[in-house]
């Protein structure tokens, strides 16, 4: 009987040690797997066709991916559906760190405007914010106003006369225009186009009197020649881009409007923490690379990097802010009526 008790006691000790050692080995194995990530190319989904700002951002990151992540990025363009085609693909992808996507504020706006397959703000996980594109308001220099204050005075004396051109209903530049009109207490007619090039052509052709764009570079030569004047900047601070340093903000001119269009990188919700940490660290190095910053500035975009925690806070804050704005200005109702 005593021998049996000793045998079972020794057996219990042996089994306990085996379980402990097995657990240690499993932890070491999991650690090794995480340390190896990534072991294959990472797909980057872009919600627009080749040549747009989102595509340019992805391909600029692609240049230093091998250096900072040890694997290349494979850019896949999925235009259409006002970015929802690409966002659906991203949200439904395996959250293993091998599928990420370039996103903008449309990731927040689309679910506000109507039913979407996924609620993107909760189905996707913000990884890093990359750039901000300032929203500028401009007009021809021969118009009877030199700044926003004079424009507001004119608009109040001529309600509904001013046509305001922008690159599409529900876009960041449209929202800025509605915010401006609401804050200033004026009535201006919103005229949507299919892109900044059409907006600029409409202004130069005299079809609209005011425009908002998110690409300062598109206005640079016209400002330099004296054809166009920039009246205001919807940012908290003035730009540092050469040639635009003296453009006053809306707030400097007594109009409490500040909004900028941003681009970042997101992943499907649920990416493992180890992979997420490795991925965001590599992306951070790529974004802060001097060559990347230079290429973005040449395109009129300002690199304003935010890591996952800060970007998540910005994501949540902008979601609340934009939901309130599009409802108060009637943009959500307008888009819903057009869809119906």
Task: Return the CATH number at 239.
Answer: 3.40.190.10
- DSSP readout, 91-143? HTS-SSSSEEEEEETHHHHHHHHS--SS-HHHHEEEEEEEEEEE-EEEEETTS
Check which CATH number belongs to the domain holding 325 and give it. 3.40.190.150
Q: Are residues 232 and 304 in the same domain?
A: no
Q: What is the pLDDT of residue 20?
A: 43
Query: Which of the two residues, 11 and 106, has the higher pLDDT score?
Result: 106
Residue 250 structural domain = 136-258
Q: Are residues 217 and 323 in the same domain?
A: no
Q: What region does 199 belong to: left with phi over 0, alpha with psi -120 to 50, or beta?
A: alpha
Task: Give per-residue pLDDT as tens, 138-167.
Answer: 999 999 999 999 999 999 999 999 999 998
Q: What is the pLDDT of residue 35?
A: 63
| Residue 179 belongs to some domain of the structure | yes
Q: Are residues 200 and 149 in the same domain?
A: yes
User: Coil, strand, or helix at residue 39?
Assistant: coil
Domain-terminating residue out of 236, 258, 280: 258
| Residue 318 belongs to some domain of the structure | yes
| Residue 11 belongs to some domain of the structure | no
pTM of the model: 0.81
R_g of the chain, CA atoms, integer Å: 26
Q: What is the pLDDT of residue 103?
A: 96
Q: What is the pLDDT of residue 7?
A: 44
d(C-alpha 92, C-alpha 315), whole Å = 20
Q: What is the mean pLDDT of the chain?
A: 88
Q: Are residues 150 and 246 in the same domain?
A: yes
Q: What is the pLDDT of residue 262?
A: 92
Q: Are residues 228 and 307 in the same domain?
A: no
Query: Which of the two residues, 101 and 172, has the higher pLDDT score?
Result: 101
pLDDT at 16 over 60: no
Which single residue is written with the structure tokens 């304003």?
Answer: 304
| Residue 249 belongs to some domain of the structure | yes
d(C-alpha 137, C-alpha 25), whole Å = 61
Q: What is the pLDDT of residue 340?
A: 61
Total structural domains within the chain: 2
Task: Give per-residue pLDDT as tens, 293-312.
Answer: 999 988 888 899 999 999 99
pLDDT at 89 over 90: yes
Q: What angle do CA 161, 210, 51 make, to 5 degrees?
A: 140
Q: Are residues 164 and 251 in the same domain?
A: yes
Q: Are residues 248 and 270 in the same domain?
A: no
Query: Which range, of 24-33, 85-94, 186-195, 256-265, averages the lowest pLDDT?
Result: 24-33
Chain CA centroid to CA 222, Å: 27
pLDDT at 25 over 50: no
pLDDT at 21 over 70: no
Q: What is the mean pLDDT of residues 194-200?
A: 86
Distances (CA, A) of 220 to 140, 217, 223, 229: 13, 5, 5, 10
Q: What is the pLDDT of residue 110?
A: 92
pLDDT > 90: percent of the chain: 64
Domain-terminating residue out of 211, 238, 258: 258
Task: Give per-residue pLDDT as tens, 59-88.
Answer: 999 999 999 999 999 999 999 988 999 999
In the structure, how many helices (H) and strands (E) does the chain have? Answer: 13, 11
Q: Are residues 243 and 277 in the same domain?
A: no
Q: Are residues 149 and 127 in the same domain?
A: no
Q: What is the pLDDT of residue 168?
A: 85
| Residue 297 belongs to some domain of the structure | yes
| Residue 15 belongs to some domain of the structure | no
d(C-alpha 272, C-alpha 62), whole Å = 23
Domain-terminating residue out of 258, 285, 303: 258
Q: Are residues 237 and 159 in the same domain?
A: yes
Q: What is the pLDDT of residue 77?
A: 96
Q: Are residues 243 and 309 in the same domain?
A: no
Q: What is the pLDDT of residue 339?
A: 65
Query: Which of the two residues, 241 and 129, has the higher pLDDT score?
Result: 129
Q: Are residues 235 and 143 in the same domain?
A: yes
User: Coil, strand, or helix at residue 227?
Assistant: coil
Burial class (CB in 10 A: 0-12, 13-18, 19+), 128: buried
Nearest in space to 324 (alpha carbons), one of 186, 179, 164, 124? 179
| Residue 245 belongs to some domain of the structure | yes
């Amino acid at each position: 009987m005593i021998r049996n008790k000793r045998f079972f006691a020794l057996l219990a000790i042996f089994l306990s040690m085996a379980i402990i050692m097995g657990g240690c080995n499993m932890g070491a194995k999991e650690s090794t797997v995480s340390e190896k990530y990534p072991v294959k190319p990472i797909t980057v989904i872009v919600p627009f066709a080749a040549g747009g700002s989102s595509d340019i951002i992805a391909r600029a990151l692609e240049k230093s991916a091998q250096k900072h992540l040890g694997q290349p990025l494979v850019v896949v363009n999925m235009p259409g559906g006002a970015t929802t085609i690409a966002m659906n693909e991203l949200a439904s992808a395996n959250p293993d760190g091998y599928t990420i996507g370039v996103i903008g504020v449309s990731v927040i706006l689309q679910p506000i405007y109507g039913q979407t397959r996924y609620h993107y703000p909760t189905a996707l996980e913000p990884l890093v914010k990359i750039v901000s594109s300032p929203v500028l308001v401009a007009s021809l220099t021969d118009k009877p106003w030199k700044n926003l204050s004079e424009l507001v005075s004119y608009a109040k004396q001529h309600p509904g006369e001013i046509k305001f051109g922008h690159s599409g209903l529900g876009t960041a530049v449209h929202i800025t225009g509605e915010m401006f009109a609401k804050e200033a207490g004026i009535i201006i007619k919103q005229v949507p186009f299919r892109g900044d090039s059409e907006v600029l052509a409409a202004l130069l052709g005299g079809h609209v009197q005011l425009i908002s764009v998110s690409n300062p570079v598109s206005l640079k030569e016209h400002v330099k020649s004296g054809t166009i004047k920039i009246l205001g900047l919807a940012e908290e601070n003035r730009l540092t881009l050469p040639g635009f340093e003296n453009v006053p903000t809306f707030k400097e001119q007594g109009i409490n409007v500040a909004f900028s269009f941003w681009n970042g990188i997101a992943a499907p919700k649920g990416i493992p923490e180890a992979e997420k940490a490795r991925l965001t660290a590599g992306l951070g190095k790529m974004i802060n690379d001097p060559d990347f910053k230079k290429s973005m500035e040449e395109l009129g975009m300002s690199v304003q990097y935010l890591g996952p925690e800060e970007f998540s806070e910005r994501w949540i804050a902008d979601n609340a802010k934009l939901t309130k704005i599009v409802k108060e200005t009637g943009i959500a109702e307008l888009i819903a009526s057009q869809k119906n």
